[in-house]
């Protein structure tokens, strides 16, 4: 069943990575997963032609969307009148201050809830941008390329366990929800998609002492996957410093638990401060 509105006449733009969701069953599953409640401040990234936007508005009556494509602003605004109150932020999402949005959220926790069918060519930068504002975000429900969701949720020993998963899992609980076939979109992408839920951890449970150092350690560790930590982290520390953290210098990054990366980065931070 198509959800296309007569307000929208522009075709999808390849250079923006646009694939518009049209499958009503998938849309309903996403809305059910988000399960908006009174008082929530919902923010949708990349509403496109409103496939998720309007069902969320029907359910919640208020929604903020962030849309970069100027040609979609007017039809979104016009079509939304029949569904609820829509606030449109016409910006590149990577320049949007989620913390400032949450500050004006009005709910008791001062947090926002993010949802969106993310452009696949920008999914990782958007995820890392959201991490920078994790304390202002209650949860995130994103549709992404399935391969990306697999990497986000992978554990040690998996072929797809890497920097993305280690960074996200340190700050969030990552839960893959369901897969989405190419036929659910117009035009259909060449890959399968999946919906994932991310719930930021409470700040006190993250336990990372130096966030920039943690990011650098993870980046270097996975920079050359075939290298052992002893060699991959040579710009950060020596083998003795790795051993002092209780981590094997001869191990490769894909063998190391997220908690071990946190312990290693914290140990290096203490050594440097000393």
204-236 confidence digits (pLDDT tens) = 899 999 999 999 999 999 998 889 999 999 999
- Residue 262: per-residue pLDDT: 98
What mean pLDDT is predicted for residues 125-150? 95
- Residue 17: per-residue pLDDT: 44
- Residue 15: per-residue pLDDT: 43
What is the enclosing helix (H) or strand (E) of 173? strand 172-180
- Residue 106: per-residue pLDDT: 55
Calculate the CA dihedral of residues 99, 105, 110, 115 and round it to 10 degrees.
-70
Give yes or no for residue 6 having a pLDDT over 70: no
Share of the chain above pLDDT 70, in %: 91
Give yes or no for residue 265 having a pLDDT over 60: yes
Show the tokens assigned to 268: 């290096």
User: What is the largest distance, in Å, between two alpha-carbon atoms of the chain?
Assistant: 65
Q: What's the rounded Cα separation, in Å, for the pair 241 and 252?
A: 16
Give yes or no for residue 1 having a pLDDT over 80: no
The answer to whether 185 and 26 are in contact (CB under 8 A) is no
86 is in an annotated binding site: no
- Superfamily designation of domain 14-205: Vaccinia Virus protein VP39 (3.40.50.150)
104 is in an annotated binding site: no
Mean pLDDT of the chain: 91
- Residue 189: per-residue pLDDT: 83
pLDDT tier for residue 110 given thresholds of 50, 70 and 90:
confident
pLDDT tier for residue 5 given thresholds of 50, 70 and 90:
low
266 is in an annotated binding site: no
56 is in an annotated binding site: no
In the chain, residues under CATH classification 3.40.50.150 are 14-205
pTM of structure: 0.89
Calculate the CA dihedral of residues 87, 88, 94, 100 and round it to 10 degrees.
-30
92 is in an annotated binding site: yes
Which tops the pLDDT comparison, 80 or 187? 80
What mean pLDDT is predicted for residues 144-148? 95
254 is in an annotated binding site: no
- Residue 120: per-residue pLDDT: 83
Q: What architecture does CATH give domain 211-273?
A: Orthogonal Bundle (1.10)
Radius of gyration of the CA atoms of the chain, in A: 20
What does the DSSP assignment read for 188-242? PPSS-EEEEEEEEPPHHHH--S-HHHHHHHHHHHTTTTTSBHHHHTTTT--HHHH
Which tops the pLDDT comparison, 17 or 92? 92
Share of the chain above pLDDT 90, in %: 81
The answer to whether 189 and 195 are in contact (CB under 8 A) is no
- Residue 93: per-residue pLDDT: 96
Show the tokens assigned to 98: 């989620």
In the chain, residues under CATH classification 1.10.8.100 are 211-273
pLDDT tier for residue 170 given thresholds of 50, 70 and 90:
very high
What mean pLDDT is predicted for residues 82-108? 88
């Amino acid at each position: 069943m198509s959800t296309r509105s007569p307000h929208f006449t522009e075709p999808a733009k390849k250079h923006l990575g646009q694939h518009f969701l049209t499958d009503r069953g998938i849309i309903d599953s996403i809305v059910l997963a988000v399960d908006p409640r009174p008082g929530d401040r919902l923010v949708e990234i990349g509403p496109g032609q409103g496939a998720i936007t309007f069902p969320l508005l029907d359910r919640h009556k208020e929604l903020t969307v962030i849309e970069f494509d100027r040609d979609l602003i007017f039809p979104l605004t016009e079509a939304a009148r029949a569904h609820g109150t829509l606030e449109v932020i016409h910006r590149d999402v990577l320049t949007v201050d989620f913390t400032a949005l949450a500050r004006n959220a009005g709910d008791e926790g001062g947090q926002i809830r993010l949802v969106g069918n993310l452009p696949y060519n920008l999914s990782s930068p958007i995820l890392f941008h959201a991490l920078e504002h994790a304390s202002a975000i209650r949860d995130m429900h994103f549709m992404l390329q399935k391969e990306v969701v697999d990497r986000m949720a992978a554990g040690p020993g998996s072929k797809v366990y890497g920097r993305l998963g280690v960074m996200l899992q340190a700050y969030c609980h990552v839960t893959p929800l369901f897969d989405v076939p190419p036929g659910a979109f117009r035009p259909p992408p060449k890959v399968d998609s999946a919906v994932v839920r991310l719930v930021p951890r409470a700040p006190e449970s993250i336990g990372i002492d130096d966030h920039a150092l943690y990011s650098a350690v993870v980046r270097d560790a996975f920079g050359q996957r075939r290298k052992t930590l002893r060699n991959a982290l040579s710009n950060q520390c020596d083998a003795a410093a790795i051993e002092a953290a209780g981590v094997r210098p001869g191990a490769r990054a894909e063998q190391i638990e997220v908690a071990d990366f946190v312990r290693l980065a914290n140990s290096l931070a203490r050594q440097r401060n000393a």
